[in-house]
């Protein structure tokens, strides 16, 4: 008797390559998204830093405007510097919270001067404080004490930077602090402070 042989059945193909390929594809997509977000974030940070730097440059204009005003007063009407004039952003004494005044958190809503926007859309605003303890008084009047510097005509005498130092023979300079705030595009904000010396005449 001849027995017919039956063909052996091959084991079924399981298709392992397809799930692995799908997993790798998903991983590559996630990596590409992460890379895109990282590049996008870096671009935004670089852009924000650029806008921030532009506000710093615009602050120079505010400081220069305050300097021009102080220079004009010192030359033509020095007695006016003894009294505050909030209409032009000038205060004849230091801030009430000095030395802890923080313009970032306590910027006044009035009594400042706006220079106006530049071509980049940055607006500078400044305020001037005479670094004296009393408003409305000359630097050496009554109990008023001012941060001052006395430059001597004789180099052997020297000078002093202390606010209550004895007055040597020479030219006395009073310290004024100019604080400038600049607001630009994307809500970029910068604050700058500069000390200026004005001679007492």
Q: What is the mean pLDDT of the chain?
A: 79
Q: How many CA atoms lie within 13 A of 61 on its CB side?
A: 18
pLDDT surpassing 80 at residue 50:
no
Alpha carbon distance 153, 170 (integer Å):
5
**7 band by pLDDT with thresholds 50, 70 and 90:** low
| CB proximity list for 147: less than 8 A, separation 6 or greater | 131, 132, 161, 163, 174, 175
Q: Is residue 187 assigned to a domain?
A: yes
Between 59 and 3, where is the model more confident? 59
For 131-190, the pLDDT digits (tens) are: 999 999 998 888 999 998 887 554 444 555 555 555 555 788 999 999 999 888 777 788
Q: Is residue 90 assigned to a domain?
A: yes
Collapse the DSSP code of 3 into the 3-class scheme (helix H, G, I; strand E, B; otherwise coil) and give the result: coil
Is the bond preceding residue 99 a cis peptide, omega within 30 degrees?
Answer: yes
Strands 123-130 and 170-183: antiparallel
Q: Is residue 169 assigned to a domain?
A: yes
**42 band by pLDDT with thresholds 50, 70 and 90:** low
The per-residue pLDDT for 161 is: 56
Q: Is residue 5 assigned to a domain?
A: no
State the chain's maximal CA–CA distance in angstroms. 140
Collapse the DSSP code of 108 into the 3-class scheme (helix H, G, I; strand E, B; otherwise coil) and give the result: coil
Report residue 168: phi and psi, to 5°: -80, 165
Least confident of 26-30, 34-38, 107-111: 34-38
Least confident of 20-34, 77-91, 120-134: 20-34
> Rounded to 5 degrees, what angle do the CA atoms 81, 71, 195 make?
80
Q: Are 126 and 89 in contact (CB under 8 A)?
A: yes
Between 107 and 118, where is the model more confident? 107
Q: Is residue 133 assigned to a domain?
A: yes
Total of domains in the chain = 1
First and final C-alpha spacing in the chain: 137
Q: Is residue 7 assigned to a domain?
A: no
Alpha carbon distance 171, 149 (integer Å):
8
Q: Is residue 13 assigned to a domain?
A: no
Closest alpha carbon to 127 in 109, 105, 100: 109
Domain that holds residue 119: 18-199
Q: Is residue 130 assigned to a domain?
A: yes
Alpha carbon distance 100, 147 (integer Å):
16
| High-pLDDT (> 90) share of the chain, % | 33
């Amino acid at each position: 008797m001849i027995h017919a042989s039956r063909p052996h059945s091959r084991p079924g193909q399981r298709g392992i390559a397809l799930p692995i390929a799908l997993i790798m594809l998903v991983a590559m997509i996630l990596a590409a998204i992460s890379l895109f977000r990282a590049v996008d974030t870096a671009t935004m940070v670089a852009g924000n830093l650029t806008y921030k730097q532009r506000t710093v440059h615009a602050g120079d204009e505010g400081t220069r405007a305050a300097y021009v005003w102080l220079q004009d007063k010192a030359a033509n009407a020095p007695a006016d510097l003894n009294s505050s004039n909030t209409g032009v952003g000038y205060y004849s004494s230091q801030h009430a919270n000095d030395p802890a005044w923080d313009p970032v958190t306590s910027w006044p809503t009035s009594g400042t001067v706006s220079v106006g926007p530049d071509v980049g859309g940055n607006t500078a605003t400044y305020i001037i404080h005479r670094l004296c303890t009393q408003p409305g008084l000359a630097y050496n009047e009554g109990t008023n004490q001012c941060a001052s510097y006395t430059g001597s005509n004789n180099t052997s005498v020297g000078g002093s930077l202390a606010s209550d130092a004895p007055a040597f023979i020479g030219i006395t300079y009073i310290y004024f602090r100019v604080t400038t705030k600049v607001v630009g595009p994307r809500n970029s904000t910068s604050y700058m402070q500069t000390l200026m010396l004005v001679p007492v005449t």
